[in-house]
Amino acid sequence: DVVMTQSPLSLPVTPGQPASISCRSSQSLVDRDGNTFLHWFQLRPGQSPRRLFYKVSNRDPGVPDRFSGSGSGTDFTLKLSRVEAEDVGLYYCMQGTHWPWTFGQGTKVEIK
């Protein structure tokens, strides 16, 4: 199975400041057609998972533009340009290129 490794696992942030989460896969996530099925999810307390980005950098509807996704091959990044209080929660990267689809361990974002 493809192992997804996130860092950091805990991210205390100051509102208004930027933040960044790294995600690395144990093998390339580029499929035979050139697609890279790397997604980012947000899991707020008491809520269902919400996908933020699909295929690395495609923003899902309703996701604020202070969030951005980037990367290629095996290295990917989720960035928040200015953290807001509502961004508190767990963030997961997930690969959908190789079955079984797998998630990273999760990064807990909390306000300092």
Partner 1 sequence: EVQLVESGGGLVQPGGSLRLSCAASGFIFSSFWMSWVRHAPGRGLEWVANIRPDGSEEQYVDSMKGRFTISRDNTKNSLYLQMNSLRAEDTAVYYCARFSRSGGSYWGQGTLVTVSS
Interface residues with partner 1 (CB under 8 A)? 1, 35, 37, 39, 41, 43, 48-51, 54-55, 60, 90, 92, 94, 96, 99-106
Cβ proximity of 18 and 109 under 8 Å: no
Minimum separation from the CB atom of position 14 to partner 1 (A): 26
Which residue's CB is nearer to partner 1, number 69 or number 104? 104
Minimum separation from the CB atom of position 108 to partner 1 (A): 11
Q: Identify which of 80, 77, 79, 109 has the alpha carbon closest to the alpha carbon of residue 93.
A: 77
Minimum separation from the CB atom of position 50 to partner 1 (A): 8
Minimum separation from the CB atom of position 58 to partner 1 (A): 8
Which residue's CB is nearer to partner 1, number 18 or number 57? 57
Beta bridge mates, 93: 40
Residue 63 token pair: 């996701």
C-alpha 18: how far from chain center: 15
φ/ψ of residue 31, rounded to 5: -90, 180
Which residue's CB is nearer to partner 1, number 38 or number 80? 38
Residue 105 token pair: 């361990």
